[in-house]
Amino acid sequence: MQPVYICGVGMNRFGKYPDRTLRDLAGGPIVDALADAGVQARDIQAAFVANSMAGIVTGQEAIRGQTILPAHGISGLPIVNVENACASGSTALHQAVTAVLAGLYDIVLVLGVEKLFHTDRSVSYRALSSATDLAESAAGGGSSVFLEESNRRLAKYMERSGATIAHVAKIAEKSHRNGARNPLAQYREVYTVDEIMASPVVTAPLTRLMCSPIGDGAAVLVICSQAAARRLGRDQVRIAASVLRSATGQSDASMGIAERSVTAAYEMAGIGPGDLNVVELHDTTAASELMLYERLGLCPAGGAPELVDSGATEIGGRVPVNPSGGLISRGHPVGATGVAQICELTWQLRGAVDGRQVDGARTAMAHNAGGTVLGEPAALSIHILTSERRV
Amino acid sequence: MQPVYICGVGMNRFGKYPDRTLRDLAGGPIVDALADAGVQARDIQAAFVANSMAGIVTGQEAIRGQTILPAHGISGLPIVNVENACASGSTALHQAVTAVLAGLYDIVLVLGVEKLFHTDRSVSYRALSSATDLAESAAGGGSSVFLEESNRRLAKYMERSGATIAHVAKIAEKSHRNGARNPLAQYREVYTVDEIMASPVVTAPLTRLMCSPIGDGAAVLVICSQAAARRLGRDQVRIAASVLRSATGQSDASMGIAERSVTAAYEMAGIGPGDLNVVELHDTTAASELMLYERLGLCPAGGAPELVDSGATEIGGRVPVNPSGGLISRGHPVGATGVAQICELTWQLRGAVDGRQVDGARTAMAHNAGGTVLGEPAALSIHILTSERRV
């Protein structure tokens, strides 16, 4: 892939902000990302805006980006509103990368923003369930459609690998411990494995502290061509692979959408899973993270329990996963999540994170998945980033 | 711009289909476009899906493309769901062109599909009003926000140019006459200027027969690289310019979003308005068409009344506009409209349209506008197509 760079990042602390609008939530991260890149709002040549659920939560459809960006000095340029459920943010990034690769623009903005929290909890659940095929699902609402599907996969995986719910809890413990060191995480409490196991059950065997919460937030990237990166002196973080795939419904255990996507991304970047120094992956629950280790090639088939027990995925381990705290601790405002993952990895590759730095990180991967159709994620995106920092 | 081609097109007859789903509506046009291009579903490498209002009309958010395409044999590939109100279709096309320009794919699909008709008329109006900035507009619903804004501009234009409501009616008469020759148009009746003037008033001075109706429909394009076009023997219609812009709120009469977009498109294609042989433009109302003649450079400032009186925009005239019947006769299922315009122009450039062919058409332009923010269209897209037909 031709060189494309991340030259600026910004995000706010994810949380529950019933009194803030999408426009308001986006403002701080936009200002921060522009300042980080060393550009002005007028330098942005195109914008890709990820939001999945405002149609249901706030009523705003159709032109979300155009209702948000002009208030922050960004207008007139091409604005594309993209959706792909929980993978909306990485889909917007994929579109931004594509536009730079096409040679159309030098400097483009990616905004992921979501208000998912609603004082009427049924509105949040209805929004989440819109990420399934409504015509096919008998669901009628509730985020449990995802959890039930996920739990069926978990039961099979446990049987095959010997993993126990304690492994899931241990992953959750890691995420909460990492999140406690992240000032932008929605939840910053540390919990023991026992406390996680004893927290209220959401859908057995998963407890509340093993699951991603409902929240609001925004994250922003400034993406640029090689020429612009050199001009800005911001050529540290390169996007070495950008892959987007959708469900087939014909996947067997060994070649589902995650395996297909990650294989394509490794090939595009010219690396293998052994080259990764840090990973942010889409842990809708800590059980998803357990199963993804194998699917993303971080361990052999059935090797996730051993990977967890070895401490390899903790900060300081061989391949730290979710140093940000992941979805379950950093939070999961749907459209913002995929962008927030890239913010974290950019900070990690720059080597200047306070309190949760993965030492010597040079190669990073983000995995972002969204929606459910045909029994697997409807959309899945993999980005591989490499550091070009002068050492 | 590097060569990008349209190798297949398909659309259904726009209309009111309360018993058909988005998936069902898309099926026929997908089959037709693939057959037209001479490719199979498995040959499609990426898909860009335009839909703006399903979140409100059917409840399906987030992953619309993934709920539609697999039923028609298209799965596993990158699927991007894009929104830009009434400009969603051309935005999806712009994304497809960008992806081919980036060298990522050879053959990609663009689907525009919308169900706007609802037995509860207030649902349709609420969907349409979602294409404004809900936080800013005091509207609360009703498509009249657009009409009122448009009518303020019309009054000013009439005062400046000497145009009368009879000129608007004459444009509507042309569109209905053209639509009557289009078997895919939602309305196929011919009306006299007097009948159009005498039809029920929607928002004075506009009558129902001067306005685009509510309807459902789907349209599909297969877009390909030069290499693929040669392989398929389908290199007749080239995309010479693809431009997308958003509102600034700082436009004066001479440099609004339409003027900025079309100027960029002419420059990209290396042509001027005098080179155009046929135009499809976004006639939300026949009055929009009147005012757009000037904005798109088809006539000098204030010259639209004379252009109408001269018959230049009729089939057989110097620059026929909306030979399909336009939005007011072909219909306006929001997400499908921008794609349908390209279907019509492709057929025109191939020179094989029955009953409404623009003889010798070699250069064509589509103008597609969507939503309202800051007092002008939120999104506006211009595509210029050229025929490379061997003569």
pLDDT single digits (tens) B181-230: 999 999 999 999 999 999 999 988 999 999 999 999 999 999 999 999 99
Mutate to test the interface with B, among A61, A124, A337 (most CBs of B within 10 A): A61
Cross-chain Cβ contact A63/B373 below 8 Å: yes
For A344-369, what is the mean pLDDT? 96
Q: Residue A138 has what pLDDT? A: 47
| Closest CB to B104 among A69, A98, A249 | A98
Residue B8 pLDDT exceeds 90? yes
Query: What is the C-alpha end-to-end distance of chain B, expressed in Å?
Result: 24
pLDDT classification of A274: cutoffs 50, 70, 90: very high
B167 class by beta-carbon count within 10 Å (0-12 exposed, 13-18 middle, 19+ buried): buried
Which is catalytic among the residues A282, A332, A367, A383?
A332
Which of B66, B250, B381 is the best substitution to test chain A (most A C-beta atoms within 10 A)? Answer: B66
Structure tokens at B186: 């939602």
Contacts of B117 (CB under 8 A, 6+ apart): B16, B17, B18, B124, B214, B215, B216
Q: pLDDT digit string (tens) for A277-297?
A: 999 999 999 999 999 999 999
- Give me the count of residues in chain A: 391
What is the DSSP code string of A174-232? Answer: HHHHHHHT-TT-S------HHHHHHSPEEETTEEGGGB----EEEEEEEEEEHHHHHHH
Phi, psi of B131 (to 5 degrees): -90, 15
The mean pLDDT of A263-284, rounded to a whole number, is 97
Residue B142 confidence (pLDDT): 44
Look at residue B205 in the predicted model and tell me its pLDDT: 93
What's the gap in Å between the CA of B59 and the closest CA on chain A?
7
CB atoms under 10 Å from CB of B122, counted, come to 10
Which one is predicted more confidently, B229 or A250? B229
pLDDT for the residue A389: 64
Q: What is the pLDDT of residue A18?
A: 92
Q: Mean of the pLDDT values across residues B131-157?
A: 69
B253 Cβ contact list (under 8 Å, min separation 6): none
Dist CA B46 CA A245 (whole Å): 9
Domains of chain B: 4-119+215-238 (3.40.47.10), 135-211+240-387 (3.40.47.10)
Q: Is A332 a catalytic residue?
A: yes
User: At residue A75, what is the residue type?
Assistant: S
Q: Mean of the per-residue pLDDT values for chain A? A: 92
> Given an 8 Å threshold on Cβ–Cβ distance, is B59 in contact with A245?
no
Helix axis angle for B334-350 and B88-101, nearest 10°, is 60
Name the residue in chain A with its Cα closest to that of B100: A102
- Cβ distance A14 to A186 under 8 Å? yes
Residue percentage of chain B with pLDDT more than 70? 94
Q: Distance (Å, rounded) from C-alpha B366 to C-alpha B86?
A: 13
pLDDT digits (tens, 9 = 90+) for A298-329: 999 999 999 999 999 999 999 999 999 999 99
Asked which of A5-9, A347-351, B21-25, B61-65 is least confident by mean pLDDT, the reply is B61-65
Residues of A whose CB is below 8 A from B92: none
In DSSP terms, B81 is beta-bridged to A83, B49
For B291-328, write each residue's pLDDT tens digit.
Answer: 999 999 999 999 999 999 999 999 999 999 999 999 99
The residues pairing with B280 across neighbouring beta strands, listed in sequence order, are B366
Of all residues in chain A, the percent with pLDDT exceeding 90 is 80
Query: Per-residue pLDDT tens for A163-199?
Result: 999 999 999 999 999 999 999 999 999 999 999 999 9
pLDDT confidence bin for A92, thresholds 50/70/90: very high
Q: Cα(A294)–Cα(A213) distance, rounded to whole angstroms?
A: 24
Of A62, A78, A250, the CB nearest to B130: A62
Q: Which chain B residue shows the shortest CA-CA distance from A242?
A: B104
Confidence check: pLDDT of B140 > 50: no
Number of other CB atoms surrounding residue A1 within 10 Å = 18
Q: B332 catalytic, yes or no? A: yes
pLDDT at B60: 76
Does residue A161 have a pLDDT over 60?
yes
Confidence tier at A118 by pLDDT (50, 70, 90): confident
Mean pLDDT within A198-224 = 95
Choose between B374 and B130: higher pLDDT: B374
Q: Which of B60, B78, B131 sits opposite A62 (nearest CB)?
A: B131
pLDDT-derived band at B109 (thresholds 50, 70, 90) equals very high
Complex ipTM: 0.91
CB contact under 8 A, B80 and A81: no
Q: Which residues does residue A108 pair with via DSSP β-bridges, in sequence order?
A: A46, A223
Strands A237-246 and A216-225, bridge-based pairing = unpaired
Query: Which chain A residues are within 8 Å of B62, Cβ to Cβ?
Result: 52-53, 83-85, 88, 130-131, 370-371, 378
Question: Per mean pLDDT, which range of A67-71, B125-129, B269-273 is the poorest?
Answer: B125-129
Query: Nearest residue of B to residue A4 by CA position?
Result: B102
Better pLDDT: A223 or B153: A223
Q: How much of chain A is helix, strand and coil, in % rounded to 5? A: 40, 20, 35
The pLDDT of residue A157: 94
Say yes or no to pLDDT of B141 above 70: no
Q: Which entry of B86, B211, B224, B299 is annotated as an active-site residue?
A: B86
Q: Check residue A391 and give its pLDDT.
A: 45
- Residues B292 and A67: their CA atoms lie apart, in Å, by 24
Is the pLDDT assigned to residue A269 strictly greater than 70?
yes
